[in-house]
A and B are shown apart, each in its own frame.
Chain A
Amino acid sequence: MPLTVTDLHKSYGATEVVRGISFQLQPGECFALLGPNGAGKTTTLRCVLGHTEPSAGRIELCGLPVPARAREARVRVGVVPQNDSLDPDFTVTENLLVFARYFGIPATAARARVPDLLAFAGLEAKADAKVPTLSGGMKRRLTMARALVANPDLLIMDEPTTGLDPQARHLIWDRLKGLISQGKTLLLTTHFMDEAERLAHRIAILDRGQIIAMGTPREVIAEHIEPQVVEVFGEWAGHEGGAAAWAATHAAQFSSRFEVSGETAFCYVQDADVLLAHLAAQGGLRYLHRPANLEDVFLKLTGREMRDE
């Protein structure tokens, strides 16, 4: 198995940031760890890579126990860290060549691999550009290419698209889908639900150091939430208080569950027809009908309040 994590715990002083996490990656699957800031995603990855010692639990990475044999295990793993850690003193190509040396790849073999890696990253035209001249999206693609330098079985990515514009995100997603279709195993963390829904075969939602839901995106949605959502917002003709006032008096009658957040009422329903007919008859109220998604599950399970680290 590419990765098996069993009952992982990690404490800093009296604070337990990872509280008994277990999951296993199947070869060739894309597995996403979702969670709000401070849920323990990055700490879990640090434990998995052997960068910090777990307080308790077992980790097996590419068949080797971690942290005891983490260094050997990392030979088979490519890592895309959250922070830009490209070497600013080097060009795009040199970044790849220097990194290949850390894996003990001979210079000629590394050189032969560079064109493929540049093509993967879409950076052929930037082969000799210095890293500080690259855009954020290019840097992230180069970091991905760098992670592939030793042709790893498993790729671990910490928030691969955070901070990128939509064009750059889509380009990264294309690359990730390409890797999945090549049969690579991917472990990624994200707090973009659409990213997880789009890419991951399976997801685990992490909150306060524990996995609170795990399965395919469809399974998780089906298990935790009604299939349809109607968001109601705007003014309510002839009434004070707009959508919130409407929700207080009517939402419970038409939906199996509802929440009011700010100016918007979220109504979760098995079948939206009756609710939609009712809303169409109300003046002023605006509404959006859509299928439930991971974000709804995520907000239901982890709450709507802000999480500041």
Chain B
Amino acid sequence: MSKLFVPLDLSPRRALAVWQRNLKVWSRLAIPSLLGNLADPLIYLLGLGLGLGALLPQVQGVSYISFLATGTVAFSTMNAATFEALYSGFARAHQQKTWEAIMNAPLSLDDVLIGEVLWAATKSLFSGSAILLVITVFGLASWQHALMALPLVLLTGLCFAGIGFIATSLAPGYDFFMYWFTLFISPMAMLCGVFFPLEQLPAFIQGAALVLPLGHAIGAIRPLLLHGEVSGLWLHVLVLLSYALCGVAIARVLMRRRLLR
């Protein structure tokens, strides 16, 4: 059995080459990809925001559509990072042997994994930025606030890319990812205040948002977009960063066990 806990073997330049490879693939499909990433959240935003919003008084002091839109930024960023880490990551790591080919060049597994995590985060940043742009154009948030939110969007992407690769390292096939969505991603959307304020939930469930990463992503991004300031920002940042790092650390051990045995 190979050792599972080995020191980090990272060459930033080589990891960047992996990131560039993925960017190159994405760049030729950038427009359809971005439109695809935008369509889904926009449908929710317009449908729920206008339809449901008409029935609701203000939520937490703002219109329902503003409340929903700011939650959607975090939600879509999470989804974009997760899809990239799970489905596209699986294709490259296992199905089409891209990782195997790259590791025959002078790259370590750490280079490849970290290049991939950074890429998934970058792609989710593109996605999140597109939604921020739409929100700004609709006048739901100021562009200054939207710019300030970009680092938090990137951090959210890093967080879900990092833990997403745990699923990718465990998955025997694409079907496995359904569990990740139904057991983790979808419940989080309900428990972390994307569509309605947490206060609507029983107190013992509200506690879940304190530990779940999406709760912290929304806890930071929503007030920043709506009011330009966040209480307890550093706690949110710390939690998201911890999730990202722990995710990468665990995925690294699991991938090593699977690919370098």
Tell me if B105 counts as interface (CB < 8 A to partner A).
yes
* Interface contact B98-A74, CB-CB below 8 Å: no
Residues of A within 8 A of B2 (CB): 52-53
Band of interface residues on B: 20 to 34
Residue of B nearest to A72 (CB): B106
Q: Which of B61-102 contact A (CB under 8 A)?
A: 96-98, 100-102
- Given the interface pairs A85-B98, A87-B101, the reply to whether A102 lies near B261 with Cβ below 8 Å is no
Contact A86 B17 (CB under 8 A): no
Q: How far is the CB of B119 from chain A (nearest CB, A)?
A: 13
Q: Which residues of B contact A51 (CB under 8 A)?
A: 103, 259-260
Determine if B25 is an interface residue (Cβ-Cβ < 8 Å).
Answer: yes
Q: Which of B17, B101, B107, B261 contacts A85 (CB 8 A)?
A: B101
Q: State which of A75-83, A187-195, A241-249, A285-293 sits at the interface with chain B.
A: A75-83
Q: Which of B213-258 contact A (CB under 8 A)?
A: none
Knowing A74-B106, A81-B104, A89-B25 touch, does A104 contact B13 (C-beta < 8 A)? yes
- A102–B97 touching, CB < 8 Å: no
The chain B residue with its CB closest to the CB of A150 is B105
**Of residues B2, B3, B104, B261, which shows the largest number of chain A Cβ atoms within 10 Å of its Cβ?**
B104
Chain A residue, CB-CB nearest to B97: A85
* Among A53, A75, A101, residue most surrounded by chain B Cβ atoms (within 10 Å): A101
Contact with A along B1-19 (1 / 0, CB 8 A): 1110000010101100110
For the complex, give the distance between the alpha carbons of A102 and B106 in Å.
7
Contact A104–B14 (Cβ < 8 Å): yes
B25 — which chain A residues lie within 8 A by C-beta?
Answer: 89-90
Is the beta-carbon distance between B105 and A103 smaller than 8 angstroms? yes
Most buried by A among B102, B105, B106, B260: B105
Contacts of A271 in B (CB 8 A): none
Instruction: Compute how far the CA of A74 lies from the CA of B111 in the bound complex, rounded to whole angstroms.
Output: 14
Interface residues of A in 88-132 (CB under 8 A from B): 88-90, 94, 98-99, 101-104
Residues of chain A within 8 A of B260, CB atoms compared: 51-53
Q: Select the residue from B14, B18, B97, B103 with max chain A CB neighbours within 10 A.
A: B103
Main secondary structure, interface of A, reads loop
Residue of B nearest to A73 (CB): B106
User: When the two chains form their complex, are residues B24 and A71 in contact, meaning their CB atoms are under 8 A apart?
Assistant: no
Q: Does A71 lie within 8 Å of B107, measured CB to CB?
A: yes
Give bound CA distance, A83 to B97, whole Å. Answer: 8
Q: How far is the CB of A188 from chain B (nearest CB, A)?
A: 15
CB atoms of B9 and A101 under 8 A apart: no
Let me know if B100 and A83 touch, CB within 8 A.
Answer: yes
Q: Given contacts A51-B260, A101-B21, is CB(A84)–CB(B9) below 8 Å?
A: no
The one of A49, A86, A94, A104 in contact with B101, judged by C-beta atoms closer than 8 angstroms, is A86
What residues of chain B lie closer than 8 Å to A87, measured between beta carbons? 21, 96, 98, 101
| A24 smallest CB distance to B (angstroms) | 22
Among A71, A99, A103, the one with the most B-chain Cβ atoms within 10 Å of its Cβ is A71
A114 to B1, alpha carbons, bound, how many Å?
Answer: 40
User: Of all chain A residues, which has the CB nearest B25?
Assistant: A89
CB within 8 Å of B: which A38-80 residues = 49, 51-53, 71-72, 74-75, 79
Residues of B within 8 A of A (CB): 1-3, 9, 11, 13-14, 17-18, 20-21, 24-25, 96-98, 100-108, 259-261
User: Could you give 30 example pairs across A and B, Cβ below 8 Å?
Assistant: A12-B1, A51-B103, A51-B260, A52-B261, A53-B2, A71-B106, A71-B107, A81-B97, A81-B100, A83-B97, A84-B97, A85-B96, A85-B98, A85-B100, A85-B101, A87-B96, A89-B25, A90-B25, A98-B20, A98-B24, A99-B101, A101-B17, A101-B20, A102-B14, A102-B17, A102-B18, A102-B107, A104-B17, A146-B101, A147-B104
